[in-house]
Amino acid sequence: MTSESQEYGAARRPVEDEVDVVAEETQKPAKGEKQEKKGSFWKELPVLVVVALVLALIIKTFVVQAFYIPSESMENTLLKNDRVLVNKLVYHTRDIERGDVVVFSGVDSWDGEFQLEEPSNPVAAFFRWVGTAFGIVPGEKDYIKRVIGVGGDHVKCCDAQQRITVNGVPIDEKSYLYPGNAPSNTPFDITVPPAHLWVMGDHRMVSLDSRSHTGDPGGGSIPESQVIGRAFVIVWPFDRAAVLPIPDTFGQPALQALAGSIPLLAGFAGAVPLVLVRRRWLVRRRR
């Protein structure tokens, strides 16, 4: 019986081996299937790239955009070659505030601090657009400065202690002003037009800001409508990553109280002539 079972086992092994070989062969993909999968990947790749670019364009246009810092005008808050993220939604929920670091377009209000050559062909223009979208290269007419005064503010330099005043309230700029810089070597006295901003760089000695553009449309101030958004965080280089808060000096109670009273004073000033005209009209009518 032992010999029979051995013979039976010997007879079965080849069959089992054949089954295993067939199973392995069925598990292995055919060469044609491999090539088809590779081919489908390369076909899908352009679609994925287009989708990624469309999503990046939507985010860049409406939500957040990265910007490249091209100059030393905001040192030491922002250094040349830093990258910042700009919130494009924030000013749909609140007004622009003094102390905000904003990115804006200088088109139709400022002459260029620096000029970039236009791309010579469509391919170069495309890569310029991609670079600008991701903050790799600077925009030709985009600037980044700190808001010192908003519409209606009386901004003056300087008081007896060489401080800039906003509506008569001195602001303490030590926390962000470039070391060794005076608030301004150029005296100025301006009332910011409605819906405009008076902006200055933190590195005052090299910044071509509102003080340098008094001969341009707006008298150096820039329209609020040209503001792209608020720079709220440094994202590159990683060792400099930090948020960009509003300095405490712009939260002074006296400054905030004056900010609330300016529209009331403006309304009162506008109402007085109307009251006088109405009173004269009534007097004449009675006669």
Average pLDDT over residues 239-257: 92
Do both 51 and 146 map to the same domain?
no
Do both 107 and 78 map to the same domain?
yes
In this structure, what token pair is assigned to residue 153?
A: 């503010």
In this structure, what token pair is assigned to residue 140?
A: 């030709």
The residue among 137, 168, 156 whose CA lies nearest residue 254 is: 168
The residue among 232, 212, 20, 242 whose CA lies nearest residue 111 is: 212
Maximum pairwise Cα distance, the chain: 144
Average pLDDT over residues 79-86: 95
The rounded distance, in Å, linking the Cα atoms of 76 and 138 is: 19
Do the domain assignments include residue 241?
Answer: yes
pLDDT at 98 over 90: yes
Domain around 161? 64-266
The rounded distance, in Å, linking the Cα atoms of 91 and 97 is: 10
pLDDT digit string, tens, across residues 194-205 = 999 999 999 999
DSSP three-state, residue 163: coil
Is residue 201 within 8 Å of residue 70, measured between CB atoms? no
Do both 69 and 203 map to the same domain?
yes
Residue pointed to by tokens 């679609």: 47
Parallel/antiparallel/unpaired status of strands 169-170 and 222-223: unpaired
Q: Mean pLDDT: which of 105-114, 120-129, 272-281 is highest?
A: 105-114
pLDDT digit string, tens, across residues 52-63 = 777 666 666 667
Do both 35 and 100 map to the same domain?
no
For position 261, what pLDDT does the model report? Answer: 54
How many CB atoms are located within 10 Å of the residue 221 CB?
A: 26
pTM: 0.69
Give the active site residue among 60, 71, 73, 156.
73
For position 17, what pLDDT does the model report? Answer: 52
Parallel/antiparallel/unpaired status of strands 196-200 and 142-150: antiparallel
pLDDT digit string, tens, across residues 62-71 = 679 899 998 9
Which residues, 6 or more positions from 13, have their beta carbon under 8 angstroms from its beta carbon? Answer: none
Q: How far apart are the first and last CA of the chain?
A: 144
CATH number, residue 145: 2.10.109.10
Do the domain assignments include residue 253?
Answer: yes
Do both 117 and 43 map to the same domain?
no
Do both 154 and 258 map to the same domain?
yes
pLDDT digit string, tens, across residues 131-187 = 555 555 555 578 999 999 999 999 999 999 999 999 999 999 999 999 999 999 999
Is residue 201 within 8 Å of residue 72, measured between CB atoms? no
Average pLDDT over residues 20-36: 52
Do both 48 and 149 map to the same domain?
no
Who wins on pLDDT, 263 or 238? 238
Which pLDDT band, with edges at 50, 70 and 90, does 285 fall under? very low
Domain tally, the chain = 2
Give the active site residue among 60, 88, 141, 145.
145
Average pLDDT over residues 102-114: 76
The residue among 229, 209, 227 whose CA lies nearest residue 110 is: 209
Average pLDDT, whole number, for the chain? 77
Who wins on pLDDT, 5 or 207? 207
pLDDT at 113 over 80: no
For position 114, what pLDDT does the model report? Answer: 45
For position 49, what pLDDT does the model report? Answer: 74
Do both 262 and 159 map to the same domain?
yes
Which pLDDT band, with edges at 50, 70 and 90, does 120 fall under? low
Average pLDDT over residues 31-47: 65
To the query of whether residue 145 is one of the catalytic residues in this protein, the response is yes
Do the domain assignments include residue 275?
Answer: no
Do both 82 and 149 map to the same domain?
yes
List C-alpha distances in Å: 253 to 53, 171, 259, 266.
46, 12, 10, 20
Do both 176 and 109 map to the same domain?
yes
Which pLDDT band, with edges at 50, 70 and 90, does 281 fall under? very low
